[in-house]
Amino acid sequence: MRNIAQAPRATRREWIGLAVIALPCLLYSMDLTVLNLAVPSLSADLAPSSAQLLWIVDIYGFLVAGALITMGTLGDRIGRRRLLLIGAGAFGLASVLAAFSKSAEMLIAARALLGVAGATLAPSTLSLIRNMFHDAKQRTVAIGVWISSYSVGAAIGPLVGGLLLEHFWWGSVFLVSVPVMAFLLALGPVLLPEYRDPEAGRLDLISAVLSLAGVLAVIYGLKRIAADGLEWLPALSIAAGLAAGGEFVRRQRRLADPLIDLRLFRAPAFSTALVTYMLATFVAFGSYVFVAQYLQLVAGLSPLQAGLWTLPWSGGFIAGSQLTPVLVRRIPRTHVMAAGLLLAALGFGMLTQVDPSSGLMVLVTASTVFSLGLAPVFTLSTDIIIGAAPPQRAGAASAISETSSELGGALGIAILGSIGTAVYRGELAHDIPAAVPPEAAHAARDTLGGALVAAGQLPDELGAELLGTARAAFARSLGLTAAICAAVALATAVAVLAVLRRARGLRNGSAPPARNAAAREGVSLPGAGSREPIPGRE
């Protein structure tokens, strides 16, 4: 019989602390979506150029993705609570600067600062959960709450933004975060313990620059390809990012205190869970782009109405995240993940049946089904990733996890968006009415939004025919991308069963202890054979 000491269970203090750290995660997710509604009013006020408007919208997400690895490792060195509170304070100040920006340049700078501050939130909060909840079952519940906070933020972002913009100026959407961050700064030192690696070396600034440049260049290139198609500038950006990433990896192998310990990737549980998380994000983000466009451009809903119709989609993620801990008490987590992926594949299969005449119910039902299926995958893969890393490396492991998610989302938007655009243009080029003038036909073939504008400038009957043809072409592109998502989900389910079920500890509903899992793979993790890092309180 194995003699294993039972992990200490969390007390009321830890659960209240979890509620506190869920708040900044909610705001982080809100800030990714809430600005879209404010674009028309801030454009009228600040009069940004098209390039400036693009940076206003995108720079937040770019810098979050690029700074995650550095911030996760920095938290291991200076303390995760300290980094979280520093990030919360910076986030609040940057929100005020954004709200009262007097020029497009000032707003871009404020959004950039928001991105850097936002990059501290996910790795700090997730690594704190790793150290606050030692019992594997309780940690799964805590991560389910953590995942749900992002879904809640994504769901209420458009609603809160819409309500604020009906009564106040565009800057009000940024001020929502100020009282929440002040609340975190007041309660964080009281409720959240401090954890750091007492044996951490110095932060290698060259590695930090390489990780920022690599991730930022790849994400930028992928997003530009999704927006403008394959051109030389985004392709060059991706190539430069991959080169920086290659140099980053080579440098980590030479350093005594690397930014990321690459030996973590030798454990199949860690690497497979990481890839699973990235692919789940790939299909979720890639499909959502088409769902959002369908709601507004095919169904003709306003942004606020479209936000309301996405509530069931967000509700599926929340329900699935909260149901996961209950399921893994009786079912092996590999089976739960595989079943979730199969359910997601079913939802994507339903999405292939959407057409302009099918109404909203098919679309909403399909998106709710696949979100319900993906939620356990997000929760359990995240749990496996941080559980497979030693406690003193929890910040770095959390940052790797979130960076893989950012890359998966960008890849989903770029690859599936490009495929969908190609299908749309091919279908419309074949079926466009012959009477449509060349200029209107060119605009319609470019995007569905262009078709909507072009149809409004044509005689009623011809405009309706063009719009009907364009919407049918878009529905076919949605169907193909949904079929690809279903195939990816099915393949990932097979990989999860083939690889993760062999990892000891995953069969009984808990993540494998980091040191035992590493030892079985012949991996010597930092601190192995020495004392565990000592939690320090400040």
Residues 158 and 195 in one domain: yes
What 3-state class would DSSP assign to 121? Answer: helix
DSSP 179-238: HHHHHHHHHHHHHSPP---TT-----HHHHHHHHHHHHHHHHHHHHHHHH-S-HHHHHHH
In the predicted model, what is the mean pLDDT of residues 67-77?
78
Which of the four pLDDT bands, split at 50, 70 and 90, describes residue 252?
confident
Residues 214 and 268 in one domain: no
Question: Which domain CATH number covers 77?
Answer: 1.20.1250.20
- Is the CB of residue 371 less than 8 Å from the CB of residue 320? yes
Residues 187 and 229 in one domain: no
Of 5-9, 88-92, 344-348, the poorest mean pLDDT is in: 5-9
Residues 240 and 294 in one domain: no
Residue 95 in any domain: the answer is yes
Residue 532 in any domain: the answer is no
In the predicted model, what is the mean pLDDT of residues 304-315?
79
Residue 135 in any domain: the answer is yes
Residues 148 and 223 in one domain: no
User: Mean pLDDT over all residues of the chain?
Assistant: 78
Residues 287 and 391 in one domain: yes
**pLDDT exceeds cutoff 80 at 505:** no
SS (H, E, C) 380-415: HHHHHHHHHCCHHHHHHHHHHHHHHHHHHHHHHHHH
Q: What is the pLDDT of residue 516?
A: 42
Best-predicted range by mean pLDDT among 57-71, 140-154, 166-180, 344-358? 344-358
Residue 209 in any domain: the answer is yes
Element (H, E) at 480: helix 460-499
Residues 132 and 223 in one domain: no
Integer Cα distance of 483 and 295 in angstroms: 19
Full residue range of the structural domain in which residue 240 is found:
204-258
In the predicted model, what is the mean pLDDT of residues 145-167?
78
Q: What is the pLDDT of residue 10?
A: 66
Integer Cα distance of 35 and 172 in angstroms: 10
Residue 163 in any domain: the answer is yes
**pLDDT exceeds cutoff 50 at 520:** no
In the predicted model, what is the mean pLDDT of residues 23-51?
74
- 10 Å CB burial of residue 105 (0-12, 13-18, 19+) is middle
Which of the four pLDDT bands, split at 50, 70 and 90, describes residue 226?
low
- 10 Å CB burial of residue 189 (0-12, 13-18, 19+) is middle
Residues 311 and 326 in one domain: yes
Among 258, 279, 296, the domain boundary falls at 258
**pLDDT exceeds cutoff 90 at 304:** no
Residues 357 and 486 in one domain: yes
Residue 278 in any domain: the answer is yes
Q: What is the pLDDT of residue 409?
A: 79
347-353-354-357 Cα dihedral, nearest 10 degrees: -150
Residues 315 and 224 in one domain: no
Residues 173 and 88 in one domain: yes
* Model confidence pLDDT, tens digit, residues 263-287: 777 777 788 888 898 899 889 888 8
Q: Could you tell me the two tokens for 63?
A: 């810098």
* Model confidence pLDDT, tens digit, residues 462-485: 778 887 888 888 888 888 999 999
**pLDDT exceeds cutoff 80 at 518:** no
* Model confidence pLDDT, tens digit, residues 489-498: 999 999 888 8
In the predicted model, what is the mean pLDDT of residues 493-510?
67
Total number of domains constituting the chain: 3
Residues 132 and 72 in one domain: yes
Q: What is the DSSP letter of 437?
A: -
Residue 115 in any domain: the answer is yes
Residue 156 in any domain: the answer is yes
* Model confidence pLDDT, tens digit, residues 413-449: 778 877 888 888 887 777 777 777 777 777 777 777 7
Task: Say which amino acid occupies 444.
Answer: A
